[in-house]
Amino acid sequence: MQATIEVSGLRKRFGPTLALDGMSFTVLPGRVTGFVGPNGAGKSTTMRVILGLDAAEEGQALIGGRPYVGLRDPLTHVGALLDAGALQPSRTARNHLLWLAHSQGLDGRRVDEVLQQVGMRSAARRRAGGFSLGMRQRLGIAAALLGDPPVLMLDEPVNGLDPEGVVWMRGLLRSLAGEGRTVLVSSHLMSELEDTADHLVVVGKGRVIADTSVADLITTASRGRVTLRTAARSAAMSALGHAGATTAVTDHDTIVVSGLSSEHVVAVLNAGAVPFSEVATYRVTLEQAYMDLTADAVEYRGAAR
Partner 1 sequence: MSAIPRRSSHHAEPGTGRGGFGRSLRAEWTKFRTVRGWVVALTAAALVTVLLGLLSASSGHASCGAGPVEVACPPPLVGPGGEAVDDKFYFVHRPLVGDGGITVRLTSMTGQIRKPDVTPGRRNVVPGLVPWAKAGVMIKESTRQGSAYAAVMMTGEHGVRMQHDFTHDVAGRAGGVSRQSPRWLRLTRSGDTLTGYESVDGTDWTRIGTATLAGLPQTVQIGLFATSPGDLTVTQGDLGGSVAAARFTEATGEFDQVKLEGSTSGAWRDDDIGVTVGPDGVEHHPGRAGQSGGTFSVTGVGDIAPTIEGPTAERPLSGALTGLILVIVVAVMFVTAEYRHGLIRVTLLAGPRRGRTLAAKALALGLVTFAAALPAGAITFTVGGRILRGNGNAVLPVPLLTQVRIVVGMAVLFALAAVLALALGALLRRSVAAVVTAITVIVVPHVLATTSVLPDSAAQWLLRLTPAAGFATQQSVPQYAHVLGHYAPIAGFYPLPPWAGLAVLAGYTALALGLAVLRLRRRDA
Report the side by side order of strands in the sheet with 199-204. Answer: 78-81, 151-155, 182-187, 31-36, 199-204, 207-213
Contact in structure between 73 and 148 (CB atoms under 8 Å): no
d(CA 227, CA 103) in angstroms, rounded, equals 58
Binders in 87-106 for partner 1, by CB under 8 A: 87-92, 95-96, 98-100, 102-106
- Site for partner 1 contains 68 (CB under 8 A): yes
d(CA 160, CA 85) in angstroms, rounded, equals 11
Q: Residues in contact with partner 1, total (CB under 8 A)?
A: 50
Q: 25, 112, 35: which is closest to 61 by C-alpha?
A: 25
Q: 213, 157, 211, 165: which is closest to 185 by C-alpha?
A: 157
Nearer to partner 1 (CB atom), residue 181 or residue 199: 181
- Site for partner 1 contains 185 (CB under 8 A): no
Nearest 5°: the CA angle 273, 277, 278 is 110
Q: 201, 198, 219, 218: which is closest to 210 by C-alpha?
A: 201
Distance of closest approach, residue 22 Cβ to partner 1, in angstroms: 19
Q: Which stretch, 44-52, 188-196, 247-255, 270-278, contacts partner 1 (CB under 8 A)?
A: 44-52
Contact in structure between 203 and 35 (CB atoms under 8 Å): yes
Q: Which stretch, 35-43, 77-85, 215-223, 279-287, contacts partner 1 (CB under 8 A)?
A: 77-85
Candidates 43, 181, 199, 233: give the one binding partner 1 (CB under 8 A): 181
298 DSSP 8-state letter: -
Distance of closest approach, residue 173 Cβ to partner 1, in angstroms: 12
d(CA 163, CA 66) in angstroms, rounded, equals 37
d(CA 258, CA 65) in angstroms, rounded, equals 44
- Site for partner 1 contains 154 (CB under 8 A): no
Nearer to partner 1 (CB atom), residue 71 or residue 158: 71
Nearer to partner 1 (CB atom), residue 145 or residue 239: 145
Distance of closest approach, residue 26 Cβ to partner 1, in angstroms: 19
d(CA 198, CA 229) in angstroms, rounded, equals 32
d(CA 86, CA 267) in angstroms, rounded, equals 62
Distance of closest approach, residue 159 Cβ to partner 1, in angstroms: 15
Candidates 109, 252, 301, 305: give the one binding partner 1 (CB under 8 A): 109
- Site for partner 1 contains 85 (CB under 8 A): yes
Q: Which stretch, 145-153, 212-220, 246-254, 278-286, contacts partner 1 (CB under 8 A)?
A: 145-153
- Site for partner 1 contains 171 (CB under 8 A): no
Contact in structure between 179 and 152 (CB atoms under 8 Å): no
Candidates 6, 9, 28, 52: give the one binding partner 1 (CB under 8 A): 52
Distance of closest approach, residue 115 Cβ to partner 1, in angstroms: 13
Q: Which residues bind partner 1 (CB under 8 A)?
A: 3, 48, 51-55, 68-69, 71-76, 80, 82-83, 85-92, 95-96, 98-100, 102-107, 109-110, 117, 143, 145, 147-148, 150, 175-176, 179-181
